[in-house]
DNA sequence: AATACGCCCAACCGCAACGCC
DNA sequence: CGGCGTTGCGGTTGGGCGTAT
């Protein structure tokens, strides 16, 4: 027997809301609030709607100061940057964009931004010759990669020495610098924040797993997960170096179509529109290539020797791995 | 003009977290 | 501490609309 439905599905209206329904709901909430009980609300006001549906309608459409469409370049920047850092945590991303709803951002990402970014990647990819793919595969053999657990690629969530996140850090980020701070904690760097970033992060990667205890890894994992309402996998992760370890394939990606794997490997090679503020810098502190929008040539994967950039690369890979669907592969990877 | 196709977005669904008893 | 109801979240769906053929 399954869970009891939240409402009598046979007796609720579904589909688009009428202006009358909107008016009823809006008037009631503006006057009385939600009463802390969405389930009971539709009955109170005589709406044949599920409580969840009322809540969604209010939050996504009727609530004051909601903006629809017309995303600015700055908003694009923020969405892209946060997505690369934390993935599809739409509610968190929406919290940084006043007037935007998670649903709106999710739709915007899925229908436009993602295509914009991946489309650019594909263009760049197509521009490059097949021999370049060979090159990056060879270089990838020297990349520190995560162990596959239960056949599911598990990419590290965070730098090991990020300080524990305080509850205060869950407060909404009100401005670009706050967002930068968040991204810095997550491994990003910005061209105009050299001094700050070099002091707030001191990532040592690739690292020797033998020097890190499982407890440390787990504690770090938990600290970053604490930023999010829903902790992700809490499995400890382990790195090992596959240099000279046989198959010419990245562990953890072998179950993915090779084109997708390559797309992931390409994912930080060229500038992406809307990410201008999300820069990495090299060890000399000069503004330059970023993990996300690196201009690093394929033959030059020196960013692996730059700890920060290796981290950014991982973040990008992780994000792509976790969120690239097979449909994307079919669409982008087969063209 | 008719039809097919693709895009966009509002809304739904299922699940996990949360909170109360 | 466990059960249950509610809330919040992210993925998915389906219909409207614009564009291409």
CATH number of the domain encompassing residue A109: 1.10.10.60
Tell me the pLDDT band of A105, cut-offs 50, 70 and 90: very high
Same domain, A226 and A103: no
Q: A26 and A97 share a domain? A: no
A50: nearest nucleotide, CA–C1' criterion: B12
Q: What proportion of chain A, given as a percentage, has pLDDT over 70?
A: 32
Residues A289 and A160 in one domain: yes
Q: Three-class SS of residue A42?
A: helix
Alpha helix locations (H) across A37-170?
A: 41-45, 51-57, 73-86, 90-95, 102-108, 114-127, 130-140
User: Does A153 map to a domain?
Assistant: yes
Mean pLDDT of chain A: 53
Q: Are A266 and A259 in contact (CB under 8 A)?
A: no
pLDDT at residue number A285:
33
Does residue A1 sit within a domain?
A: no
Q: From CA A99, how far away is CA A66, in angstroms rounded?
A: 4
If asked whether residues A20 and A166 sit together in one domain, one would say: no
Is A253 inside any structural domain? yes
What confidence score (pLDDT) does residue A289 get? 31
The token pair at A169 is 């850090």
pLDDT at A138: 46
Quick: pLDDT tens for A83-103: 888 888 898 888 888 889 989
Question: Domain ends where: A62, A84, A104?
Answer: A62
| pLDDT at residue A272, rounded to an integer | 38
Q: In which domain, by residue range, is A29 found?
A: 9-62
CB A329 within 8 A of CB A260: yes
Q: What is the pLDDT of residue A86?
A: 86
**Per-residue model confidence as pLDDT tens digits over A204-215:** 232 233 333 333
| Site of tokens 């850092």 | A85
* pLDDT: which is higher, A86 or A324: A86
Give the model confidence (pLDDT) of A225-271 as tens digits. Answer: 333 333 333 332 323 232 223 233 333 333 333 333 333 444 443 33
Q: Which nucleotide is nearest to A56 (CA to C1')?
A: B11
Q: Encode pLDDT of A184-207 as tens digits.
A: 443 433 333 333 333 332 222 322
Per-residue model confidence as pLDDT tens digits over A274-312: 333 333 333 333 333 333 333 222 222 222 222 333 334
**Domains: count for chain A:** 3
A88 touches strand C (CB under 7 A): yes
Over 60: is that where the pLDDT of A119 sits? yes
- A83 and A197, same structural domain? no
Residues A174, A126, single domain; the answer is: yes
Is the same domain home to A136 and A228? Answer: yes
Query: Nearest residue to C13, CA vs C1'?
Result: A15
Note the strand C nucleotides within 7 A of protein beta carbons.
Answer: 5-12, 15
Domain presence at residue A3: no
Residues A174 and A279 in one domain: yes
Residues A157 and A288 in one domain: yes
Nucleotide with C1' nearest the A325 CA: C11
Within A187-274, residue ranges assigned H as helices are 194-200, 214-225, 258-266
User: Considering chain A, what percentage of its residues have pLDDT values greater than 90?
Assistant: 2
| A234 within a domain of the structure (yes/no) | yes
Q: Which of residues 31-50 of A touch strand C (CB under 7 A)?
A: 34, 36-40
Domain membership flag for residue A200: yes
What does the block give as tokens for A34? 């939600």
**Is the CB of residue A16 inside 7 Å of nucleic acid strand B?**
yes
């Amino acid at each position: 027997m399954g869970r009891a439905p939240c409402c009598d599905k046979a007796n609720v209206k579904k589909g688009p809301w009428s202006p009358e329904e909107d008016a009823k709901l809006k008037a009631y909430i503006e006057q009385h609030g939600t009463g802390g009980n969405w389930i009971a609300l539709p009955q109170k006001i005589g709406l044949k709607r599920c409580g969840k549906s009322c809540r969604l309608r209010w939050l996504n459409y009727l609530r004051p100061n909601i903006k629809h469409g017309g995303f600015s370049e700055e908003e694009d920047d923020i969405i892209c940057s946060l997505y690369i850092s934390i993935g599809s945590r739409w509610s968190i991303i929406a919290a940084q964009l006043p007037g935007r709803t998670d649903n709106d951002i999710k739709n915007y990402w899925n229908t436009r931004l993602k295509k914009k970014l991946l489309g650019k990647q594909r263009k760049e990819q197509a521009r490059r010759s097949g021999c370049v793919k060979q090159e990056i595969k060879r270089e990838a053999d020297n990349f520190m990669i995560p162990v596959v657990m239960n056949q599911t690629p598990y990419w590290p969530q965070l730098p090991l020495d990020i300080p524990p996140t305080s509850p205060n850090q869950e407060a909404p980020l009100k401005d670009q610098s706050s967002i930068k701070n968040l991204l810095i904690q997550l491994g990003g760097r910005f061209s105009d924040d050299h001094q700050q970033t070099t002091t707030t992060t001191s990532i040592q990667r690739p690292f020797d797993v033998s020097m890190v205890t499982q407890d440390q890894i787990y504690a770090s994992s938990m600290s970053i997960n604490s930023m999010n309402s829903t902790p992700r996998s809490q499995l400890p992760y382990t790195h090992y170096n596959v240099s000279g370890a046989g198959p010419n394939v990245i562990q953890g990606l072998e179950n993915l179509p090779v084109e997708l794997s390559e797309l992931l490997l390409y994912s930080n090679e060229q500038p992406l529109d809307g990410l201008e503020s999300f820069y990495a810098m090299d060890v000399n502190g000069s503004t330059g290539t970023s993990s996300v929008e690196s201009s690093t040539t394929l033959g030059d994967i020196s960013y692996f020797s730059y700890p920060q950039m290796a981290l950014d690369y991982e973040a990008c890979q992780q994000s792509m791995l976790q969120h690239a669907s097979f449909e994307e592969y079919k669409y982008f990877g087969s063209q």
